[in-house]
Amino acid sequence: SQKIEQNSEALNIQEGKTATLTCNYTNYSPAYLQWYRQDPGRGPVFLLLIRENEKEKRKERLKVTFDTTLKQSLFHITASQPADSATYLCALDILTGGGNKLTFGTGTQLKVEL
């Protein structure tokens, strides 16, 4: 069956450290992979998109890698801050006949402590 797995346990790290979140998938061949941030009581907000032929993408303190052989994406936040505390969702952009649809993982809750 098709599955997207993110760390189910919350990730607690100290301010200033690098947070690394994992997204693994099986039985999908996504054209793109996206990462979203979701704060409590709010809708997800787009962060980064990476294509299947890109190994790495960066935006300010954020970095995403995409390994289609391992079927894995890693999401890094460097110099983390308490304001980075949120749930982070990965989403696979699947090509279908009726238009692409995003399939979301369950998310990883990140808590950055002082």
- The residue count for binding other proteins (CB under 8 A) is 25
User: What DSSP character marks residue 88?
Assistant: E
| Residues 39 to 78 in contact with other proteins, rule: CB under 8 A | 41-46, 49, 51
**Which one of 107, 108, 110, 112 is in contact with other proteins (CB under 8 A)?**
107
| Residue 36 C-beta: closest distance to other proteins, Å | 8
3-state secondary structure of 84: helix
Amino acid code (one letter) for 25: Y
Region binding other proteins by CB under 8 A among candidate stretches 14-22, 64-72, 75-83, 88-96 = 88-96
